[in-house]
Structure formats: structure tokens, C-alpha cells
Amino acid sequence: MLNTLAIVIFTVATIIQLIYWGFIFSRLARFKVEIPERKENDIEQEVSVIICAKNEAENLKKNLPRILNQNYRSFEVVVVNDHSTDDSLEILRALSKQYPQLRIVNYTEEKTFIGKKPALAKGIQASKYEIVLLTDADCYPKSDTWIWEMQHAINGKIELGLAYAPYENKKILINFLIRFETVYTAIQYLSFALVGQPYMGVGRNLIYKKTLYKKVDGFKKHQHIASGDDDLLINEIAKKSNTKIILSPNTFMFSPAEKTWKNYYHQKSRHLSTGRHYKLKNQLFLGLLSVSHFCHYIVGFFVICKISTIFAVVMYVVRIVVVNLVYGSTLRRLQDQPLLKWVPFLDFLYIFYYIIFAPILFIGNTIKWK
């Protein structure tokens, strides 16, 4: 009886995995990346770039000029100095003398809620333009056409653009794992957007119209949750008809990855805690993906050892070939091909990610932003 149950669970889990990778995630692998042609008479939409910064003096000094020097005319950069105790405000004031498009919001009021949302809400409120483009102080754009290409996606019915925010490539194990997890997350939210089920975005590289933000009263429904300024908001406002993914390499927004396991755990705990507040259908889709991935390896290991080695190995090989094909094509689009040779190992290692972080989905997380 136990053997039969194990065979059934392993087979069903593997089939579910093949459906996700072969029919949903392959959409991103086949996605045609558009690099729009810029014409001299193109109309530039006015854009407000919004950055929240708390004790980010060094990052502001290093990264902010790369945003202020974008090859674009019709934009402002609103930086919210969120209760910083370092030299952030002095650096911002010095930069504002050189760049008139820089606007400073010095947020010193006592916060009613924890996290980044109160500061971000201040920035959106202070912004002058209808289109808001979000990133973080520790991020820098790959090119000086970042703003132009991001706003180019917003036209007609499209009011929301989901873009990619990779981490810098460093030759250490934790960096490989973080980059792999970032790619895997991108495969999920970008692929689901392509099949008409957008459910999240990444606040390091996200663009939308303020009309959408105001329509749901901003962060009001989830302002008590520390994270979710990006994914929970997108979960509310994104639809098949108003959302587009943006994958031109010129729009990539890079940032340094965490260098210690402790900091990475805190970062991911904060992000994952918001998943409990997604729409039920999104929780079911993502939960089924995770459970089937976990059972494919864990129950499959039991099948190999106790029941049928040949059957289990064949199922493993079929799945990992499909997964590798999807990753190969996707990593070319995301310009991180060095990860490809590590995919089989990292895909297996991901089951420990589930074990470590699964409790967060049930007990939540109270780690504050900064």
C-alpha cells in the first residue's frame, strides 16, 4: 500500500512539474524580447522615479547619479529620506544643486506602520507625474535608456510594467543561490503574467500609473504588513489587460546580493511573509508548484531506494531535461548563462529552501525594513 501511494504521489508530482515547466514557464523561454527603436520625434511621457532611502549614504553617492544622468528629458527623481541617521540628507542636498530634477522628501514624522510603505506613500504623494517608476537606493540601471524603455511600455490599455532586477555576479556559493532564486522567481511571476495571471512584481524595477495606485487606496489594505509594497499592490491592481512584461536588457536594474546567510534569511523571510496575503488562486498555483517540486525529489528518492530505480530515474531525467531547456532559453534572455551548468544541482538544492522558509508562510515575519 505504501509503495503504491509513493508511486502515485511521485508520478502526479512529476506530471504537475512537467505541466508548469512545459506549458507555463516555457512561455517566458519563447518570449520575444523587444528593444524598442527610439525615434527623434517620439513623445516622452513624464515620469516620476521614486526611491526610498534609509541610511543609504554610500549607495546614494554611488548609484543616484546613474539615474539622474538618464538619457531622458521629461522626468524627476523623488528620493524619500526615511529617518536616516547617516549623511544621506547632506548627500542628497549636494546632488540637488547639480541636478535640478532631483527632489528630496525628508520624512521625519513618526511612523504609524512598520516597513517601507509609509515612506513610499509619501514619495508617490509628492511626485508630480502620472507615471511612477520605482527602484531602490542600492540599485543601478544597466543603461542610460532605462527610463525611456520602461515608460515606452506604458501606452494604451497598458498601465503597469513588470521588469527584471538581477543581482550582481560574484564567485561565491551564496551568490549562485541568490541569483538562481531570483531567476526562478522571475520565471514564475513573468510567466504567469504572460498567461494572463499577473500576481506580483519586484519593487526594484517596477512602473505603473498612479491612477491604479489611487484606485485601490494605495497600500491601505495591507499597510500593517511590513513588506508587500510591490507584490501585494500588484496582486491587487494587475490584470491580463493592463499588464506587460519588460525584458529588454537595457531595462535591467542591478543591485548587490546579500553576502551572509543571516542577512539573506532575513531578507527572504520579509519577502515571503507576504505570500500568505496573495489572492487564493495565486496561493494555490504557487503552493502546488512548490509541493510538487518537493515531492518529486523527496518521494522520488524513496521510490528509487525501495521500489523502482529505473522508473524513478526515467522520470527524473525527463523532468530535468525539460527544466534545463526552459532555463537555457530563459537565462539567455536574462543574460545570466553561467548559471545554466548549475541548474540540476541548484534545482535539487531548492528543496532545502522550502524546508528552511516554509514556516514563514504559516507564522509570518516581523522583521522591519532596515
We report the CATH number of the domain holding residue 179 as 3.90.550.10
Residue 275 lies in a domain: no
In this structure, the answer to whether residues 223 and 102 fall within a common structural domain is yes
In this structure, the answer to whether residues 15 and 47 fall within a common structural domain is no
Residue-wise pLDDT for 238-248, tens only, equals 999 999 999 99
pLDDT at 262: 87
Q: Write down the H helix ranges in the chain.
A: 2-19, 26-29, 57-68, 88-98, 117-126, 146-152, 173-194, 210-215, 231-237, 261-272, 280-306, 309-333, 343-363
pLDDT at 221: 79
- The last residue of one of the domains, among 270, 303, 337, is 270
pLDDT at 370: 58
d(CA 32, CA 28): 8
d(CA 347, CA 349): 6
Spatial contact of 159 and 208, defined as CB atoms under 8 Å apart = yes
In this structure, the answer to whether residues 116 and 229 fall within a common structural domain is yes
The contacts of residue 302 (CB under 8 Å, 6+ apart) are 6, 10
Q: Which domain holds residue 24?
A: 2-28+281-355
In this structure, the answer to whether residues 304 and 325 fall within a common structural domain is yes
- The last residue of one of the domains, among 270, 295, 324, is 270
In this structure, the answer to whether residues 15 and 106 fall within a common structural domain is no
Q: CA 179 from chain center: how many Å?
A: 12
Domains contained in the chain, number: 2
In this structure, the answer to whether residues 69 and 51 fall within a common structural domain is yes
- The last residue of one of the domains, among 270, 296, 318, is 270
Spatial contact of 120 and 80, defined as CB atoms under 8 Å apart = yes
In this structure, the answer to whether residues 243 and 163 fall within a common structural domain is yes
Residue segments in the chain with a per-residue pLDDT below the cut of 70: 113, 226, 273, 360-370
Please state the pTM of the whole predicted model. 0.92
Residue 369 lies in a domain: no
Residue 367 lies in a domain: no
pLDDT at 366: 46
